[in-house]
Chains A and B, each alone.
Chain A
Amino acid sequence: GENVEQHPSTLSVQEGDSAVIKCTYSDSASNYFPWYKQELGKRPQLIIDIRSNVGEKKDQRIAVTLNKTAKHFSLHITETQPEDSAVYFCAASETGNQFYFGTGTSLTVIP
């Protein structure tokens, strides 16, 4: 089955700086890679996703890059704000099938 690894497990950045979270996956059949933000006690919320037919996608301060050859994808948050503090999960999925999650990154943005 699919194995998704995520690094780092914790990340602290100063407000305004950038944050980068990296994930690797093992199953070359995976073709959909969403990123979720989960605040304490709440449900995961989709913040951005990328499919295997593109290498990069951007939405305001958030961007995701995908390297299919190396089987890794990354989340980039620029101009971080305190409200970006949360746990972020990457996931990998083969279209319509199971989603496998990374272990999560606890991001703290220091004002």
Chain B
Amino acid sequence: GAVVSQHPSRVICKSGTSVKIECRSLDFQATTMFWYRQFPKQSLMLMATSNEGSKATYEQGVEKDKFLINHASLTLSTLTVTSAHPEDSSFYICSALKLAGGNQETQYFGPGTRLLVL
């Protein structure tokens, strides 16, 4: 199988604090993980690509100093929302890329983290 976990599932924090979200691939190694943001009833918006051992690649319009990504091992990527504000409230979903034979890959999603900034 291919299981991706995410922690925490829900977090409520005060404005100005930082929040760290963890994404783990439990039964496979993932060189590449992705971080998405999803607003209610909307699509997934790619925020950044997280590559193990190197700097993340951010999509246009995503502040890298605001959303810090660290991919320290082949099974863990973290997203830290720094100095969170109410407009950062959202559903954050990570995914991990599992490579199969023939250089083919499949993306598996974590269960998501709902962030509410008061």
Interface residues of A (CB under 8 A from B): 1, 32, 34, 36, 42-46, 49, 51, 89, 91, 93, 95-104, 106
Closest-by-CB residue of B relative to A100 is: B46
In the bound complex, how far is the Cα of B111 from the Cα of A46, in angstroms?
A: 13
CB within 8 Å of A: which B12-68 residues: 32, 34, 41-46, 49, 57, 59-60
Interface size on B, residues (CB 8 A): 25
Which label, helix, strand, loop or mixed, suits the secondary structure of the A interface? strand
Interchain nearest-CB distance for A37 vs B (Å): 11
Given contacts A95-B103, A99-B34, contact A45 B109 (CB under 8 A): yes
Which label, helix, strand, loop or mixed, suits the secondary structure of the B interface? strand
Contact partner of A49 among B34, B41, B106, CB < 8 A?
B106
**Residues in B neighbouring A91, C-beta threshold 8 A:** 107
